[in-house]
Structure 1
Amino acid sequence: MSLHWYTARRVAWAGVVAFVILTVTFVLLEYAPDPQLARIQFRAAASGGSAEAAAEAYVRRRGLQGPLWARYLDYLANLATGDWGWSDTRSQPVVTAILTALPYSLMYTVPAVLLSTFFGIAIGLYSAFNQYTKADYAATFVAFFGISIPNFWFGIVLILVFAVHLGWVPVLFDAQLARTRPFSLANARQLALPVFVLGTGAIASTMRYARAEALEYVRAAFVKTARAKGASEWRILTRHVLRPTLVPLSTILVGDLLGVILSASYLVEVVFGIPGIGRLSLEAIRRQDTALVLGTTLVPVFVAVIGNLLQDLAYAALDPRIDYGDR
């Protein structure tokens, strides 16, 4: 099977996954209670008006009339043409709302992913080469600490220590500063804590996997043979340990990082007041803004689909024994 057919098949499967996620989200939002509708009915009844008429006007204004399947098909048709809908709570197109919030999320997620990948693999390999030493025990402690500690609690503690008491970083996130001077030192200061909080859990997870995989090769016979032939430790690390370690590591690295980053972004943005995708999605869910919820759901789905596709392609490229047939 050719690479092109393999890629097309994976993209098609990714489309099926995205369709299922959107369908489930749409149905759940349909049957979830709408607090805004309840408030409108209460206000109408309190002012002497008709609660039913107010509810009908609300449904008509939000475009919620008609059967569920018909509204869902209309949404999919609009989605195919690039129209992601209109956000009633923000009075702007969903695409505009997402594009406004996306840069704020990228400012801290991209550095967190890059740093966690580099330092996680590096610490994991160092720990595997120095098994049962103080450095290994320290790295293991850091891994368990990073995985176990709640991000929202850790973020609040860091704000109290470094922002309130020491004054090294600002307490509140300045969105205007991030928008006008994204590469300034002042913006880097206010992004330091979100990157550190998000990267702590990701580094710990990556380090744990890298150490476990590298341990299988550190004491392998071919590594002992290379060392007996006079190969340097750097060559042994990069050629004989790192390369085979990346093959199984690539199958779990993307998914695990996405899980840590995407799930933690909601809490991180709420704690630090960052107006990113996570906070936008949370507010949309709270206000029952269906179009905006579906739009913010599409973003992590798209990232996960592309990430898993690249993961599959990298897995086949790193190990020549793997073909593009059914696995």
Structure 2
Amino acid sequence: MRWYIARRVAWAGVVAFVILTITFVLLDLAPDAQLAQVQFQAASGGGDAQSAAEAYRERRGLDGPLWQRYADYLTNLFTGDWGWSDTRSQPVTEAILTAIPYSMMYSIPSIILSTVIGMGIGLYSALNQYTKTDYAATFVAFFGISIPNFWFGIVLLLVFAVELDLVPVLFNADTAINDTFSLANAKQLVLPVFVLATGAMASNMRYARAEALEYVQAEFVKTARAKGATGWRMLTRHILRPTLVPLSTLLVGDLLGLILSASYLVEVVFGIPGLGRLSLDAIRNQDTALVLGTTLIPVFIAVIGNLLQDIAYVILDPRIDYGDR
């Protein structure tokens, strides 16, 4: 197991290097809107557009060759210096650490709720297949999977914030930081949590139901029933544990899905200054250091999540052995 983890960590380093390299090159090749604006302003004021462009590149550290800039970035990265955000006038690490708490406020409750409720309903539906409860759960699952998060969030804002005035329209960052556990903060987080949890819960329900159905009629389950095992004991000991082996993969997928896609949409719709919005603003402004910094976060989560997933496989199913060769 130790050698397996070491190999996974080493391979994760290679993957991170490839992702960073591709991102760095694409950002360098992309047109720079700020550079064009600087040249336009210089030309409009009677100045030299070329001199203004050179000064702009020198100020942002873009005057050297691509390979040298990339080598300098990697050197600084390994020494703990993730660079300076020109658009925010602060270190990249500081900008990321400022944004992460806002993302955690809605993402952690969403993951917990979607995992517990989604898998619970999925297991219950598998034990009560083709009943009214199973059909209702299936309808909710298809609804959650099909509805777009950004559209659902806008509709909920119009209904509960504009029409009913039950929640605030705009996210208050000061309330979120200074009164994290207050009712006011809970009211402004309830819609983002609900929107994200709905989609993830639907996926968990369907996967949990499909996996559990493979074991409901299994021989060892029939034997346990013949010996008198029923209800909660049957579900947790004989069905849930083998079902959790493939379902544990969903946890990493849900977490990455929230960070890579859903967080962008939800934070823009609800005005949350989290990691997704920070990354989106950095991409729009072509803030290279900040884009690369926000790219590293999902990579780290994927590495740690997959390692924990592999360890969970061994705990849940002793037959799995990675060996120490």
TM-score after normalising by structure 2: 0.97
What aligned pairs does 1:159-238 form with structure 2 within 5 A after superposition? 159-238=157-236
The one-letter code matched in structure 2 to 1:308 is N
1:152 to 143, 150, 153: 150
Q: Retained in 2: the 8 A contact 1:206–1:253?
A: no
- Kindly report which structure 2 residues correspond to 1:41-52, keeping only aligned pairs within 5 A, or say none: 41-52=39-50
Deviations 1:128-165 (A, max 9, x none): 11111111111111111111111110000000011111
The 3-state SS of whatever aligns with 1:172 is: coil
Name the amino acid aligned to 2:71: L
Distance 1:257 1:126, change over 3 A: farther
Amino acid at match of 1:70: Q
Match of 2:25 in 1: 27
State the shift of 1:320 in Å: 1.0
Shift of 1:317: 2.1
Out of 253-262 and 200-209, give the one that drifted further: 253-262
Q: Percent identity?
A: 79
5+ residue gaps, structure 2, are none
Give the equivalent residue in structure 2 for 1:137.
Answer: 135
The residue matched to 2:291 in structure 1 has which SS? Answer: helix
Q: Which moved more, 1:12-21 or 1:23-32?
A: 12-21
Contact 2:42/2:49, CA 8 A, preserved across alignment = yes
Q: For 2:181, what is the secondary structure of its paired residue? A: coil
1:79 aligns with 77
TM-superposed deviation, 1:324? 1.0
Distance 1:87 1:141 in 2: 46
Q: Secondary structure of the residue that 2:14 maps to in structure 1? A: helix
- Cα distance in 2, alignment partners of residues 199 and 190 from structure 1: 15
Moved over 3 A (4+): none
Residue 96 (str. 1) matches residue 87 (str. 2) = no
Equivalent residue for 2:313, pick from 312, 315, 320: 315
Q: Which amino acid aligns with 1:272?
A: F
Residue 287 of structure 1 aligns with which residue? 285
CA drift of 1:48 comes to 1.0
Matching of residue 36 in structure 1 with residue 57 in structure 2: no
Supply the distance in 2 between the matched residues of 1:117 and 1:44 (Cα, whole angstroms): 55
Offset of 1:261 from its aligned partner? 4.8
1:266 aligns with 2:264: yes
Partners of 2:161 and 2:235 in 1: CA distance: 40
CA distance in 2, matches of 1:94, 1:294: 9
Contact 1:281 1:293 in 2 (8 A): yes
RMSD: 1.4
Which letter does structure 1 place at the counterpart of 2:199?
Answer: G
Q: How far is the alpha carbon of 1:276 from its aligned partner?
A: 0.4
In structure 1, the residue corresponding to 2:118 is in which secondary structure?
Answer: helix
Alpha-carbon contact 1:201-1:260 (below 8 Å) kept = no
Query: For residue 204 of structure 1, what is the amino acid of its counterpart?
Result: A
The number of equivalent residue pairs is: 325
Q: Is the 8 A contact 1:251 1:315 kept in 2?
A: no
Deviation at residue 316 of structure 1 after TM alignment:
2.2
2:3 corresponds to which of 5, 28, 34: 5
**Counterpart Cα distance in 2 of 1:70 and 1:143:** 51
Query: Aligned partners of 2:72 and 2:96: how far apart in 1?
Result: 21
Does the 8 Å CA contact 1:88/1:289 hold for their aligned counterparts? yes
Quote the Cα distance in structure 1 between the aligned partners of 2:135 and 2:181.
37
Q: Tell me the secondary structure at the aligned position of residue 90 of structure 1.
A: coil
Describe the SS at the equivalent of 1:83: coil
Q: Quick check: 271-280 or 244-253, which moved more? A: 244-253
Range with bigger deviation, 251-260 or 16-25: 251-260
One of 121, 125, 128 as aligned partner of 2:126: 128
- Tell me, in whole angstroms, the C-alpha distance in 1 between the residues paired with 2:50 and 2:187: 52
Verify the 8 A CA contact 1:198 1:261 in the aligned structure 2.
no
Shift of residue 80 of structure 1?
Answer: 0.3
2:25 aligned partner, one-letter code: V
- Matched AA of 1:87: S
Partner in structure 2 of residue 299 of structure 1? 297
Match of 2:54 in 1: 56
